[in-house]
């Protein structure tokens, strides 16, 4: 399955690449947070592929009744699970809390409580499909992997636990902005999990 994952920054050049039919074979779009929702809706329309996303710390609080708080035609996967083309997907939105009144922000303890809410669905997957998870999408990186020392860009310890427990093949995240001049890698492995910082976008051929 060919995946286009996006996070944190609008890439206008994607429009020209799509027009030139570079992305004809995209099977799935993943939004890893802090993307304008109209931009995600454009990607969904142009590529005609299912789109799952999680909110970032700069995104609005989700409200099904408020059109501007979600991506029309897509699925908000925050603390939810889905099955797409036989791939089991789960989502975890938000970032570390760095403002007392911040939306989609959580301290480390709150993040663990959120992660535990995925357990019933993961166990159900294990019983019915023989595995917990194939793809995890988050906004924040895991603690100690692709994160930073600054208060706003620390990773979640709960995500390290979740990855080690559920053992997804792929973990896509945003939030930390890696540029070409950075020496740090944009991909890391935890156990069997390929952890990918998708900023600003990444195309991945996913396999079971």
pLDDT in tens, 61-117: 988 788 889 999 999 999 999 999 999 999 999 999 999 999 999 999 999 999 999
**Total residues found in the chain within this entry:** 208
Q: Residue 54 and residue 30: Cα distance in Å, rounded?
A: 8
| Of the listed ranges 2-6, 151-155, 169-173, the one predicted with least confidence | 151-155
Of the pLDDT bands very low, low, confident and very high (cuts 50, 70, 90), residue 186 is confident
* Strand spans (E) along the chain: 2-6, 28-31, 51-53, 75-76, 81-84, 87-92, 95-96, 105-106, 135-138, 170-173, 187-190, 193-197, 201-205
Domain span including residue 24: 2-205
* Residue 184 confidence (pLDDT): 60
CA distances (Å), 148 to each of 33, 50, 140, 178, in order?
A: 17, 32, 11, 11
CATH number of domain containing 63: 3.60.21.10
- For the entire predicted model, the pTM comes to 0.95
| Overall domain count for the chain | 1
């Amino acid at each position: 399955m060919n995946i286009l994952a996006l996070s944190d920054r609008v890439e206008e050049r994607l429009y020209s690449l799509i027009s030139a039919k570079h992305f004809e074979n995209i099977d799935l779009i993943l939004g890893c947070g802090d993307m304008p929702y109209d931009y995600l809706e454009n990607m969904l329309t142009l590529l005609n592929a299912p789109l799952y996303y999680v909110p970032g710390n700069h995104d609005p609080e989700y409200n099904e009744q408020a059109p501007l708080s979600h991506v029309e035609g897509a699925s908000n996967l925050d603390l939810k699970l889905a099955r797409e083309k036989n791939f089991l997907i789960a989502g975890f939105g938000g970032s570390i809390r760095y403002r007392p009144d911040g939306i989609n922000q959580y301290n480390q303890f709150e993040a663990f409580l959120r992660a535990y809410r995925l357990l019933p669905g993961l166990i159900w997957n294990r019983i019915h499909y023989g595995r917990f998870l194939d793809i995890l999408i988050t906004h924040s990186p895991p603690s100690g992997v692709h994160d930073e020392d600054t208060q706003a860009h620390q990773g979640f310890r709960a995500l390290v636990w979740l990855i080690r427990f559920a053992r997804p093949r792929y973990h896509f995240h945003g939030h930390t902005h890696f540029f070409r001049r950075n020496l740090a890698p944009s991909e890391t492995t935890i156990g069997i999990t390929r952890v990918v910082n998708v900023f600003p976008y990444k195309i991945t051929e996913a396999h079971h």
